Amino acid sequence: MTYLADYYCDVLIIGNGAAGLSLALRLAPYYQVIVLSKSQINESCTFYAQGGIAAVFDESDSIESHIEDTIITGAGLCDVNIVKFIVTNARKCVQWLINQGVSFDQESHDATNGIIRYHLNREGGHRYRRILHNGDYTGRVIETTLIHQAIKHHNIHIFEHTNAIDLIISDKLGILGKRRALGAWIINNNCKKIKTCFARAVVLATGGAAKVYQYTTNPNVISGDGIAMAWRAGCRVANLEFNQFHPTCFYYPQAQTFLLTEALRGEGAWLLRPDNTRFMPDFDHRAELAPRDIVTRSIYYEMQRLGVNHMYLDISHQSKNLICKYFPTIYKKLLTFNLDLTKQPIPIVPAAHYTCGGVIVDLHGKTDVDNLYAIGEVSYTGLHGANRMASNSLLECLVYSWSASEDIINNLPNFTKIKSLPDWNNVQDINKEELTIINNNMHELQSLMWKCMGIIRTTKQLEHAINRILFLQQEIGKDYINFHFSKNLLELRNILLVAKLMVQCALKRQESRGLHYILDFPKLSKIAIPTILVP
């Protein structure tokens, strides 16, 4: 049988972080897999993750405690069944990762009896130490290990510097029956030629949408692509009003933002005002180990009250040996700015970090469209509720890559025969003037979202944001229709759509809960339900 495509595979995975690569490795013994990476293969949120993976490995801890901590942090919006499903399957999925070659810091290793005792960090929202880690560069270890394994496998083909433009969906081709995914239109950033990739199943593993904000801890490639493509394909989305801001990002105007892991506070770091006094005990009995939404709003409140542009994080009262052992990357990085983590407080400020909502999926990562899956940060599973608990995100990636692989292995459909595809005009280069306009629009959007859809919002701000977003969408519509493609234009198109969905979700939630704090509705509603948008 001949297919009218430039590429075909059994499973097309769009995204190259922990979720996408873990799934690729689980599927590779059975099927041909293509993995798309927007940049070089190691450029993902996973690579920059400092913290680790939450799982019950300590004798004093329990699955029930992990479940309860997650639900409390989620502010009443977690799906209890999903939380139980993920936490219960945590240990075996972490063990799979260890079997791939990922190493975690150990306290002891009894080689005779094969008993390993891991060093476990504690982070905000966790009552126990349950964060497996490798120093303060856990994500880098996970990503590089998975890449090494994927490159070796003959059934995994990695396309670097390649964007997915849109999904190929059956009903848009006039194919009768239930809507299903058939592949994607893709473009390599070097050759600039649009090609088709047919697949028996498509998986979105593109991460979140933190690039919608002016200040973010995420790499530049995280621009909401998967959420936007899924919405255009007909998938529902949920809870996009819950955008997590990491409380402690290094503040240095001349430097690119990088986060200072929550594990620092787990090891006793304090948050300080400019006068060196602590303030978190004034806001929550858990102090620096309160959930991130509380810590972030507390920092923001103190900055506004004092009229300053940052607070401080101080772990200098702990031993230099402990700091250098568990936070070597941060220690060395700060030294390049003449700051010594072992001797002085470090200036910090909140920044956009994690998208708690996303594409609605079931227990196997299946979306509303047949043969289309979404796993990792791009998805809405019900785990995080109104606020993600620290280090549950990599866990979600691992469990859903396993769960999705089980469904795909058992239920992968046959190829759908395609008679023809719509013609796509040749790509035209964008000139410098057009590129400047696109970049200016991106900067305007990011500034708009930071001011109007930030840590604290108002209805008036949200209404202003939605009106401005609609105008910007009209601005780029002409360029897109004329097929003046560029990576910047594709990202702007997607991030504008996701920004609109975020604001629409925020306007629908007339209460303050978790990460969504709106001055017009400061009280918590008695009924906790997810915010769902339908295309």
What is residue 473's three-state secondary structure? helix
Contacts of 485 (CB under 8 A, 6+ apart): 165, 187, 192, 194, 427, 428, 430
Q: Would you call 122 a catalytic residue per the annotation? A: no
Residue found by looking up tokens 């002016």 in the block = 214
Alpha carbon distance 121, 136 (integer Å)? 10
Closest CA to 28 of 202, 116, 193, 155: 155
Structure tokens at 452: 């109007």
Structure tokens at 104: 């975690």
Alpha carbon distance 228, 112 (integer Å)? 52
| Phi, psi angle pair for 109, to nearest 5° | -145, 110
Residues 6-30 pLDDT 10s: 899 999 999 999 999 999 999 999 9
Residues 89-127 pLDDT 10s: 999 999 999 999 999 999 887 767 778 899 999 988 899
Structure tokens at 431: 């000139």
HEC string of 35-85? EECCCCCCCCHHHHCCCCEECCCCCCCCHHHHHHHHHHHCCCCCCHHHHHH
Work out the burial of residue 307: count CB atoms within 10 Å of its CB; fewer than 13 is exposed, 13-18 middle, 19 or more buried.
Answer: exposed
Which is more confident, 477 or 223?
A: 223
Provide the phi-psi class of 224: left if phi over 0, else alpha when psi is between -120 and 50, else beta: left
Which is the catalytic residue, given 130, 140, 180, 292?
A: 292
Query: How many other CB atoms are found less than 10 A from the CB of residue 411?
Result: 11
Residues 212-257 pLDDT 10s: 999 898 888 899 999 999 999 999 999 999 999 999 999 988 777 7
Residue 415 and residue 178 in contact, taking contact as beta carbons nearer than 8 Å: no
Residues 371-426 pLDDT 10s: 999 999 999 999 999 999 989 999 999 999 999 999 999 999 887 777 667 666 55
Closest CA to 212 of 502, 477, 4: 502
Question: Which residue(s) pair with 259 in the sheet?
Answer: 249
Distance spanning both ends of the chain, measured CA to CA: 35
CA angle 320, 352, 316 (to 5 degrees): 15
Closest CA to 36 of 176, 310, 229: 229
Work out the burial of residue 363: count CB atoms within 10 Å of its CB; fewer than 13 is exposed, 13-18 middle, 19 or more buried.
Answer: middle
Closest CA to 248 of 175, 378, 341: 341
pLDDT of residue 116: 87
DSSP 8-state assignment for residue 519 = T
pLDDT of residue 426: 56
Question: How large a percentage of the chain has pLDDT more than 70?
Answer: 96
* Domains of the chain, each with CATH number or no CATH: 7-241+356-411 (3.50.50.60), 245-353 (3.90.700.10), 432-521 (1.20.58.100)
pLDDT of residue 491: 92
